[in-house]
Chains A and B, each alone.
Chain A
Amino acid sequence: MAYQLLVRTATFVVTVVLASVLVFGFMAILPGSAARVSLGVNATPEAIARVEADFGVDRPLPVQYLDWAAGLPTGDFGTSYVTRRVIGPAIVDRLLVTSWLVGASMLVALVIALPLGTLAAVRHQRPSGTVLAGVSQVGVAVPSFLAGLLLIALFAVKLRWLPSGGWTPPARDPVAFLRGLLLPSLALGLVQGSVLARYVRSTVLNIQREDFIRTARSKGLRRWQALVRHGLRNAAIPIVTVLGLQLSVLLVGAVVVERVFTVPGLGSLLLDGVANRDLLLVQGVVMVLVVMILAINWAVDVLYTVLDPRLRARA
């Protein structure tokens, strides 16, 4: 198992390095010069050359890359050409906000999907199971930004129970933090929960019919006991796969939903960066998103080997 962990981790590191080359490369081949953007259209060639030397963008690309990449592990993403401020702290702040949002959304999705999906599977031949399956079908069809707008219309505008947007750090006011977090996490989590519920349902349906569940019952376990003791862990394997994919989708989905709820997360930062042509900022945010998604995949792979002894063999 240690060997497996080593292989997975090495793969992760190599992929991150390759990804950093790609991200840097794409940004480098974009037309336009950071110095030109920063100085405006009337800048003299001398001024541009001076600023380029200042930014270090007159150096060969490999040197620029190594300079940028060397800073990444320590959280040094360079200094913005536009705002002239260091990028690292802003990204870390925003990443924290997005992590709260994604984490809370995942929690909402799990809280919805695990019980409802299981119930829909256990009752699949009864009307209640069919209704549950139907409801989750509707949930799947609603995009999260629309869910967000509908939630704002209902809970913020009509009922006035919750704020329509904004962000309060948890340390400053935990209650306001939770009130602000609730609607955006619901917008993201309801949709993902519907998708997940369908996977949970079909997984549990399949597991119920497995021979080893019948064996467990033949040993003297009741139907639900067999499902809980022998089914859950077997069901966890396909569900973890979907969870990993969903976390990635949530991370990307957060970009849009953060805009709807004016949450100052990584997505908002990315869109601001694009709007201001702050290339180095965009490069940094994209790199962080890529690393996050690769880290999720790494975690899923590791979870597999923990859950399934068949994957621990060295062969």
Chain B
Amino acid sequence: MTAGDEDRLVVDGLDVRVGPVGLLHDVGFRLRAGERVGLIGESGSGKSLTALAIMGLLPEGLAASGHVGLAGTDGNLLAAGDARMADLRGRRVSMVFQEPMTALNPLMKAGDQVAEVLAIHARRGGSGGSGRDRDRRALDLLDAVRMHEPDLVRRRYPHQLSGGQRQRVMLAMALANEPDVLICDEPTTALDVTVQAQMLDLIVEGARERDASLLFITHDLAVVATVCDRVLVMYGGRIVEAGPVQQLFTAPRHPYTRGLVASSDLDAVDAAGRLPTIPGVVPAAGTFPSGCVFRTRCERATDACAEPPPWTGQPDDGHACIHPYDDAPATP
């Protein structure tokens, strides 16, 4: 893939390994300016690893290869050192993590944690601004994520805040320096259903106001449908299908995507009244079959699937399957 003018983030041939075991294989996609892209798949499919590899925050022992390019910066981010990545993180690319309970420092006041991300990059950029300015900015940011009583919240410690409040603090930190790319890793999964919708609104609004490209990781297809323009479907550390939201949900081509879509339809039940599921379970890392990673769970699999399926279609709209569905699924 070559970077177009509008590309904010280009990921190409991304592999992540732990020792001899491959966890991600040839992951590639691009985020254009202001675009909102969903990354979906079951737990263990490699969604979070993809995000951490882009951020340069992979856990110890995991090694990434391939290419990650960010508009306005030269070279491959995967080859950049900790100092260079630190300069980009929180300024050009930022991330909201899944666990609001543990992702904030328990010994630091919420407002100080927001002000810190301003201070880190203000210092590096040489543009000073006083601590008091940053505290006021932090207050504005908390207000911008529609925190009730932000002046009270900023003086609280994380344990004194609810899950939704903590995730707002995380979002305020992530948006503080007007990033080009915002990565959200299951930002609403740990939240009460009642606050999920508000949080999604804030993320979409926050990204739109700053013209930030959004990479939104989730296993909740309904969430993707409300938030994203495009979707990438991951399974077994590979992207198996990509396409516009509407098309992917109404006419999924890859059997895995079709299974995901079918199992998220809570109205569809079989004769016994059970919800549809994808047969089998996600294999443990490193134990995926050769060839098509989905073939051990796929009803369409044949001997031909022992060979890795080639990508069919455009990079943004295509699939990796030699027996794709070409019709819309029958509605029960």
Contact = CB atoms under 8 A, between A and B. Distances in A.
15 contacts: A212-B102, A212-B103, A217-B86, A218-B90, A218-B95, A219-B94, A219-B120, A220-B89, A223-B82, A233-B107, A234-B107, A308-B106, A308-B107, A309-B159, A310-B106
B239 interface: no
A214 B157 contact: no
Interface stretch (B53-61, B65-73, B247-255): B53-61
Contact of B107 (A214, A219, A309): A309
A240 to B, nearest CB: 13
Contact of A214 (B87, B94, B97, B159): B97
A125 B170 contact: no
Interface string B302-332: 0000000000000000000000000000000
A230 interface: yes
Contacts of A214: 57, 97, 103
A230 B108 contact: yes
Contact of A219 (B83, B90, B106): B90
Interface residues of B, number: 33
Contacts, number: 73
Contact of B104 (A212, A307, A309): A212
Given A211-B99, A214-B103, A219 B89 contact: yes
A249 interface: no
A210 B106 CA distance: 11
Contact of A221 (B88, B120, B170): B120
A211 B121 contact: no
B12 interface: no
Nearest to A213: B105
Contacts of B145: none
Contacts of A310: 106, 157, 159
A219 B117 contact: yes
A293 interface: no
A211 B113 CA distance: 14
Nearest to A210: B102
A148 to B, nearest CB: 39
B135 interface: no
Given A215-B170, A230-B108, A234-B106, A220 B121 contact: yes
Nearest to B99: A211
B116 interface: yes
Given A211-B99, A214-B57, A220-B117, 19 more contacts: A211-B102, A211-B103, A215-B104, A215-B105, A215-B170, A215-B173, A216-B105, A218-B90, A218-B97, A219-B173, A220-B87, A220-B120, A220-B124, A222-B86, A234-B105, A309-B106, A309-B157, A309-B159, A310-B106
A209 B102 CA distance: 11
Nearest to A212: B105
B89 A218 contact: yes
Interface of B: 55, 57, 59-61, 82-83, 86-91, 94-95, 97, 99, 102-108, 116-117, 120-121, 124, 157, 159, 170, 173
Nearest to A225: B86
A212 B117 CA distance: 13
A307 B105 CA distance: 13
Given A223-B82, A310-B157, A218 B106 contact: no
A210 B116 CA distance: 18
A225 B124 CA distance: 14
Interface in A274-315: 307-310
A283 B86 CA distance: 61
B61 A125 contact: yes
Interface residues of A, number: 23
A156 B157 CA distance: 54
B179 to A, nearest CB: 11
Contacts of A209: 59
A219 B141 CA distance: 15
B108 to A, nearest CB: 7
Contacts of A222: 82-83, 86
B295 to A, nearest CB: 35
B105 A219 contact: no
A212 B102 CA distance: 6
A237 to B, nearest CB: 8
A310 B91 CA distance: 31
Chain A to chain B: the 5 pairs with minimum beta-carbon distance, closest first: A220-B90, A219-B90, A211-B102, A219-B117, A309-B157
Interface in A99-128: 125
Nearest to A211: B102
A233 B106 CA distance: 10
Nearest to A308: B107
Nearest to A226: B86
Contacts of A225: 86
Which of A125, A212, A214, A222 counts the most B-chain CB atoms under 10 A from its CB? A212
Given A222-B83, A310-B157, A217 B57 contact: yes
Contacts of A215: 97, 103-105, 170, 173
A96 B97 CA distance: 53
Contacts of A309: 106-107, 157, 159
Nearest to B174: A218
A209 B99 CA distance: 14
